Chain A
Amino acid sequence: MIQLNINKKLNTPNGTMCLSIDMTIEKGKIITFYGESGAGKTSLFRMIAGLLSPDEGNIVVSEEIWLNTKKKINLKPQDRNVGFAFQDYALFPNMTVRENLEYALKKNQDQKYIDDLVIAMELGELQHKKTGILSGGQKQRVSLARALVQKPDVLLLDEPLSALDNEMRLKLQDYILKIQKKHNLTILLISHDIDEILKLSDKIAILKNGTISQIGSPSEVFEQQSNENVQLAGEIIGILQKSDTYIATIRIGTNTLKTAIPISEIKNYAIGDNIIISSKLIAPTIQKASK
């Protein structure tokens, strides 16, 4: 069980933002944080890992206090059993792939686990190569493997599969699920890939301007989101009068659509106006686009 309750003022390019998170995460679950860039996802991960200090709050992981600002407890990153796959991989260029993994081993930890990881991540041929020459996808696999080495209480994955091709991504998603079940890992994930989120997550938390705007199972959250209005921005390119109503032609991107405007409102619109057209999506028909 992870209890998070943290507040931190962050300086962002859009001014100061207050990151304020209060949530509980069950052990052995995968929870995904989803939201626009700058919403505070990575900062939240850094605070859990102890790389960034919150202004106030507490973090309790499996009944061990990692942070309690009132009691002035703030464990160093070294003392928190966290695995972190960084978005930019953070591999050590002076070491080979295997040395990178071995570096993450704890004292007296069995080397054999590294062999398993090397096989699972298909790093066999690369293991004695320096990391500088690897491709983005290969680096990402090494970074994920390295975060798994120490069998952490909390595994923080910051877009761990974004640079992979589809086949490898699906394979590693399966592997993450497998290893998560085997070791009962608690995984916190940042992802923008809806398919990935649906496949991996037990829960999804939507982060907006530093706070959780929605939390629940992925299907619940996405369903709720899709109930919202569809809003499209467009421009009026023509208005025609037909008996007692007006028909406006609106250009949206490269498409046009026609919609009726009541006589009482037509005086508010003219050709060339930029408008926003909203509609509720009720039972839309979905069809695969022809290639």
Chain B
Amino acid sequence: MIDWEPLLLTFKLALITTVILLVIGIPIAYWLAYSKSRIKPLMETLVSMPLVLPPTVLGFYLLVAFSPSNAFGNWLDEWLGIRLIFTFGGLVIASLIYSLPFMVQPIQSGLESLPTHLKEASYVMGKSRLVTLFKVLLPNIKTSLRTGVVLAFAHTIGEFGVVLMIGGNIPGKTKVASIAIYDEVEALNYDTANSYSLVLLLITFSILLTVYLTNNRVFKKFSK
């Protein structure tokens, strides 16, 4: 019988990360989609960095930053009593950065693809930006929102390098499924590794399949 803890921890991490990312991803995507600011290219670069950066690089710098022997980590520890290294909280922060582009980019391109007149028509009717966002813009990019949520969730499940660097391998705290698989393979327990892998494989397959099926249904509904 396999130990379910790493799997549960993985899904807990992915769920928390996705919910927080949805909340912070929408305003970031909104800003990137509509801002004419000069620093927009810089912000776009920063948001997209985790797409190309090796996870170990990200993990390494987070490790350095959060380390209590450094100024920032020390400040967190002494003033706020927060330790981010080798803790679940640290994993959540690392996952947020690591999966940010997977949430932001679909929402940003969804917003950019909407005709400007939708937004303008709403403004002319006296509706604020916030009302327009929630009543007009977001409901018309449901497919992009769903894509963002699923990609962020799936990408967090697939995390390995960042987790290993900053979370380590503490059972029940930071030992997520991908680490557990690596662990079991190192210990030559191929059967257990296979069980973990199979569960991850089936779950991610089902999630993605559900999304594509519903997205296709949405398209059909609109094209009728």
| Chain A interface (Cβ < 8 Å from any Cβ of B) | 49-51, 76-84, 86, 88, 90, 92-94, 103-104, 106, 132-133, 146, 149-150
What residues of A have a CB within 8 angstroms of the CB of B53 in the complex? none
Known: A78-B123, A86-B120, A149-B125. 12 other contacts (CB 8 A): A50-B123, A51-B124, A78-B126, A82-B124, A84-B121, A86-B117, A90-B117, A90-B118, A92-B122, A103-B127, A106-B126, A150-B125
* Contact sample, A vs B, 17 pairs, CB 8 Å cutoff: A49-B124, A50-B123, A77-B120, A77-B123, A77-B124, A78-B126, A79-B126, A86-B120, A86-B121, A88-B117, A90-B120, A93-B222, A94-B140, A103-B122, A103-B135, A103-B136, A149-B125
Name B136's contact: one of A77, A83, A92 (CB within 8 Å): A92
What residues of B have a CB within 8 angstroms of the CB of A77 in the complex? 120, 123-124
What residues of A have a CB within 8 angstroms of the CB of B124 in the complex? 49-51, 77-78, 80, 82-84
Q: Report how far A80 CA is from B139 CA in the complex, Å.
A: 26
Q: Report how far A12 CA is from B7 CA in the complex, Å.
A: 58
What residues of A have a CB within 8 angstroms of the CB of B125 in the complex? 103-104, 146, 149-150
- Determine how close the nearest CB of chain B comes to the CB of A154; give it in whole angstroms: 11
Among residues of B, the one whose C-beta sits closest to the C-beta of A150 is: B125
Those of B118-154 within 8 Å (CB) of chain A: 118, 120-128, 135-136, 139-140
Among residues of A, the one whose C-beta sits closest to the C-beta of B141 is: A94
- Determine how close the nearest CB of chain A comes to the CB of B145; give it in whole angstroms: 12
**Known A88-B115, A92-B136, A94-B140; contact A133-B120, beta-carbon cutoff 8 A:** no
Q: Is there contact, CB below 8 Å, between A93 and B140?
A: yes
What residues of B have a CB within 8 angstroms of the CB of A51 in the complex? 120, 123-124
Q: Report how far A80 CA is from B125 CA in the complex, Å.
A: 9
Q: Is there contact, CB below 8 Å, between B140 and A92?
A: yes
What residues of B have a CB within 8 angstroms of the CB of A88 in the complex? 115, 117
B36 in the interface (beta carbon within 8 A): no
**Known A88-B115, A88-B117, A133-B224; contact A94-B139, beta-carbon cutoff 8 A:** yes
Instruction: Tally A-B pairs: CB < 8 A.
Output: 58
- Determine how close the nearest CB of chain A comes to the CB of B110; give it in whole angstroms: 13
Q: Report how far A82 CA is from B127 CA in the complex, Å.
A: 12
What residues of B have a CB within 8 angstroms of the CB of A104 in the complex? 125
Q: Report how far A49 CA is from B116 CA in the complex, Å.
A: 14
Among residues of A, the one whose C-beta sits closest to the C-beta of B117 is: A90
Q: Report how far A260 CA is from B122 CA in the complex, Å.
A: 63
- In the A-B complex, the 10 residue pairs with the closest CB atoms: A90-B117, A94-B139, A90-B121, A77-B123, A104-B125, A84-B124, A78-B126, A86-B117, A77-B124, A51-B120
Q: Report how far A104 CA is from B131 CA in the complex, Å.
A: 12
Among residues of B, the one whose C-beta sits closest to the C-beta of A89 is: B117
Q: Report how far A92 CA is from B124 CA in the complex, Å.
A: 14
Q: Report how far A106 CA is from B124 CA in the complex, Å.
A: 12
Among residues of A, the one whose C-beta sits closest to the C-beta of B138 is: A94
What residues of B have a CB within 8 angstroms of the CB of A103 in the complex? 122, 125, 127, 135-136
What residues of A have a CB within 8 angstroms of the CB of B136 in the complex? 92, 94, 103
Among residues of A, the one whose C-beta sits closest to the C-beta of B120 is: A51
What residues of A have a CB within 8 angstroms of the CB of B122 in the complex? 92, 103
What residues of A have a CB within 8 angstroms of the CB of B117 in the complex? 86, 88, 90
Q: Report how far A150 CA is from B125 CA in the complex, Å.
A: 7
Q: Is there contact, CB below 8 Å, between B140 and A150?
A: no
What residues of A have a CB within 8 angstroms of the CB of B127 in the complex? 78, 103
Those of B49-80 within 8 Å (CB) of chain A: none
Q: Report how far A81 CA is from B125 CA in the complex, Å.
A: 8
Among residues of B, the one whose C-beta sits closest to the C-beta of A104 is: B125
Among residues of B, the one whose C-beta sits closest to the C-beta of A99 is: B135
Q: Report how far A88 CA is from B121 CA in the complex, Å.
A: 11
What residues of A have a CB within 8 angstroms of the CB of B121 in the complex? 84, 86, 90, 92, 146
What residues of B have a CB within 8 angstroms of the CB of A81 in the complex? 126
Q: Report how far A78 CA is from B128 CA in the complex, Å.
A: 7
What residues of B have a CB within 8 angstroms of the CB of A106 in the complex? 126
Q: Report how far A2 CA is from B39 CA in the complex, Å.
A: 39
Those of B74-127 within 8 Å (CB) of chain A: 115, 117-118, 120-127
Q: Report how far A20 CA is from B126 CA in the complex, Å.
A: 27
- Determine how close the nearest CB of chain B comes to the CB of A190; give it in whole angstroms: 15
What residues of B have a CB within 8 angstroms of the CB of A92 in the complex? 118, 121-122, 136, 140
- Determine how close the nearest CB of chain A comes to the CB of B220; give it in whole angstroms: 12
What residues of B have a CB within 8 angstroms of the CB of A80 in the complex? 124
- Determine how close the nearest CB of chain A comes to the CB of B123; give it in whole angstroms: 4
- Determine how close the nearest CB of chain A comes to the CB of B31; give it in whole angstroms: 18
- Residue from A76, A90, A106 having most chain B Cβ neighbours under 10 A: A90
